[in-house]
């Protein structure tokens, strides 16, 4: 079996196995797996509205995944995507409300504000890592809590004690009348183009620029990078800042696209944490992140339809979705068996 065939077969078999085990879980719990899966399918592809909402869901996953993947490529584990996303969300919403500018200034301004906010939030752990060798995992986790409650407080201030900033001005909105018209008024917005452009940007930075060459070198071997005259500290900080900017953009997608506001939150959105899985599923490559985000976004959104259409409780749905993702993540096990089977054939 050629490498190419194996590379295609592995994810396909993973998904099928995940679906099978998920079906067993539903059967054992006394629910009809066929009804369950057709509800899942309809939830993702059922009509133009579902498709629109699925793509909308994929958008922030793409950016969160890029954020984690980019830091990973430089040897850093950014668990703070959630917090960087929240500050980005707030920054975009704030700029969206507080200013009244022509769209061609206002929209980019709001987007850039979100990226800068996320970047600034990630700069702190980057700086601490570079200068004082404080582990970025600890700092970023703590920064998540600080972000959650700080943005909540800021939203209350901005809204005079309320829990919602109110809708942003139309000049800062990513809303798309065109997408609404073809997807039966789903919340699909232009942000998907920004997310895809960022995928391209990540690939470009890593594979085409000297900065990318340095970031990768520092990620693989700090000592050799220092020997080659690279500024290791600068690269660590830069990597966190770029990663944080991607996360901040994910927040902008929610603020300017999906919700059109920022609101007080009782807990994390989960997008930032799912971003870790998206990045790892995609082996931290730009193309892989697309695959991971599509899988995550579709399952997460489509699953919402399973309780409604098939009457399966949310808890079982969560288990089924987790099992499917679990099997995809175990792709290497399947690869192992495929390669073993190939070897046996050759031996004969």
Partner 1 sequence: MDYVIEMLGIRKEFGSFVANDNITLQLKKGEIHALLGENGAGKSTLMNVLFGLYQPEAGEIKVKGKTVKITDPNVANDLGIGMVHQHFMLVENFTVTENIILGNELTKAGVVDIKDAAKKIRKLSEMYGLDVDPNAKIEDISVGMQQRVEILKTLYRGADILIFDEPTASLTPQEINELIQIMKRLIQEGKSIILITHKLKEIMDVSDRVTVIRKGEGIGTVVTAETNPNELASLMVGRQVEFKTVKSEANPTDETLVIKDLVVADYRGIDKVRGLNLTVRKGEILGIAGIDGNGQSELIEAITGLRKTKAGTVSINGQDITNKKPRKITESGVGHIPQDRHKHGLVLDFSIGHNIALQTYYQEPISKNGFMNYSKVSELAQKVIKDFDVRTQGEHTPARALSGGNQQKAIIGREVIRDPELLIAALPTRGLDVGAIEFIHQRLIEQRDNGKAVLLLSFELDEVMNVSDRIAVIYDGQIVDTLLPKETSEQELGLLMAGQKKNSNKVKQGETTHVE
Is 209 a binding residue for partner 1 by CB under 8 A? The answer is yes
Is 225 a binding residue for partner 1 by CB under 8 A? The answer is yes
User: Is the alpha carbon torsion for 309, 313, 317, 320 positive or negative?
Assistant: negative
Is 227 a binding residue for partner 1 by CB under 8 A? The answer is yes
Least Å distance, CB 211 to partner 1, is: 7
Least Å distance, CB 228 to partner 1, is: 5
- Residue 29's contacts (CB-CB under 8 Å, 6 or more residues apart) are 316
Is 224 a binding residue for partner 1 by CB under 8 A? The answer is yes
- Tokens standing for residue 159: 């809204």
Q: What is d(CA 137, CA 143) in angstroms, rounded to the nearest whole number? A: 10
- Tokens standing for residue 248: 């901040």
Q: Which of 54, 38, 3, 12 is nearest to 301 (CA)?
A: 54
Residue 193 or 220: the one with the smaller Cβ distance to partner 1 is 220
Select the span of 154-162, 182-190, 212-220, 276-284 touching partner 1 (CB under 8 A). Answer: 212-220
Q: What is d(CA 285, CA 25) in angstroms, rounded to the nearest whole number? A: 33
Select the span of 208-216, 258-266, 288-296, 309-317 touching partner 1 (CB under 8 A). Answer: 208-216
Residue 2 or 100: the one with the smaller Cβ distance to partner 1 is 2
Least Å distance, CB 216 to partner 1, is: 7
Is 106 a binding residue for partner 1 by CB under 8 A? The answer is no
Q: How far apart are the first and last CA of the chain?
A: 14
Is 233 a binding residue for partner 1 by CB under 8 A? The answer is no
Of the residues 132, 177, 347, 348, which one makes contact with partner 1 according to CB under 8 A = 347
Residue 18 or 286: the one with the smaller Cβ distance to partner 1 is 286
Q: What is d(CA 248, CA 288) in angstroms, rounded to the nearest whole number? A: 21
Q: What is d(CA 246, CA 30) in angstroms, rounded to the nearest whole number? A: 43
Least Å distance, CB 18 to partner 1, is: 30
Is 221 a binding residue for partner 1 by CB under 8 A? The answer is yes
Q: Which of 259, 214, 277, 258 is nearest to 82 (CA)?
A: 277
Residue 145 or 204: the one with the smaller Cβ distance to partner 1 is 204
Select the span of 62-70, 185-193, 205-213, 283-291 touching partner 1 (CB under 8 A). Answer: 205-213
Select the span of 11-19, 29-37, 222-230, 318-326 touching partner 1 (CB under 8 A). Answer: 222-230
Q: What is d(CA 245, CA 67) in angstroms, rounded to the nearest whole number? A: 8
Residue 206 or 252: the one with the smaller Cβ distance to partner 1 is 206
CB distance 69 to 284 below 8 Å: yes
Is 104 a binding residue for partner 1 by CB under 8 A? The answer is no
Of the residues 102, 160, 177, 223, which one makes contact with partner 1 according to CB under 8 A = 223
- Total number of residues binding partner 1 (CB under 8 A)? 22
User: Interaction with partner 1 in 284-343: which residues (CB under 8 A)?
Assistant: 343
Of the residues 212, 251, 272, 302, which one makes contact with partner 1 according to CB under 8 A = 212
Residue 130 or 290: the one with the smaller Cβ distance to partner 1 is 130
- Contacts of 198-201 with CB under 8 Å at 24 or more apart are 198/62, 198/63, 198/66, 198/246, 198/249, 199/62, 199/66, 199/286, 199/287, 199/289, 199/290, 200/286
Residue 4 or 223: the one with the smaller Cβ distance to partner 1 is 223
CB distance 166 to 261 below 8 Å: yes
User: Is the alpha carbon torsion for 129, 135, 140, 146 positive or negative?
Assistant: negative
CB distance 1 to 342 below 8 Å: yes
Residues that bind partner 1 (CB under 8 A): 207-214, 216-217, 220-221, 223-230, 343, 347
């Amino acid at each position: 079996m050629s490498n190419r065939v194996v590379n295609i077969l592995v994810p396909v078999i993973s998904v099928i196995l995940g679906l099978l085990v998920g079906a067993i879980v539903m059967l054992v719990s006394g629910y009809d797996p066929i009804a369950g899966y057709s509800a899942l399918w309809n939830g993702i592809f059922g009509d133009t509205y579902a498709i629109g909402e699925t793509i909308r869901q994929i958008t922030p996953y793409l950016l969160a995944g890029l954020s984690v993947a980019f830091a990973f490529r430089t040897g850093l584990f950014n668990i703070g995507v959630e917090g960087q996303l929240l500050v980005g969300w707030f920054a975009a919403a704030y700029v969206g409300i507080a200013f009244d500018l022509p769209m061609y200034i206002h929209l980019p301004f709001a987007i850039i504000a979100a990226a800068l906010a996320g970047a600034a939030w990630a700069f702190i752990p980057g700086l601490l890592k570079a200068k004082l060798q404080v582990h970025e995992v600890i700092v970023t986790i703590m920064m998540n809590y600080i972000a959650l409650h700080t943005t909540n407080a800021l939203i209350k201030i901005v809204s005079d004690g309320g829990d919602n900033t109110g809708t942003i001005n139309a000049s800062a909105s990513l809303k798309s009348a065109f997408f609404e018209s073809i997807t039966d008024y789903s919340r699909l917005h232009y942000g998907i183009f920004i997310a895809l452009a960022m995928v391209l940007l990540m690939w470009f930075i890593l594979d085409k620029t000297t900065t990318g060459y340095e970031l990768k070198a520092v990620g693989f071997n700090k000592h050799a990078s220092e020997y080659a005259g690279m500024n290791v500290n600068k690269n660590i900080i830069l990597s966190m800042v770029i990663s944080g900017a991607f996360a901040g953009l994910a927040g902008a997608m929610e603020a300017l696209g999906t919700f059109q506001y920022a609101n007080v939150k009782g807990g994390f959105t989960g997008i930032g944490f799912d971003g870790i899985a998206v990045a790892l599923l995609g082996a931290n490559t730009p193309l892989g992140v697309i695959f991971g985000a599509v899988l995550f976004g579709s399952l997460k959104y489509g699953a919402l339809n399973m309780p409604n259409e098939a009457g399966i409780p949310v808890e079982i749905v969560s288990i089924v979705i987790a099992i499917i993702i679990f099997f995809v993540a175990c792709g290497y096990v399947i690869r192992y068996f495929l390669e073993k089977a190939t070897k046996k054939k050759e031996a004969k």
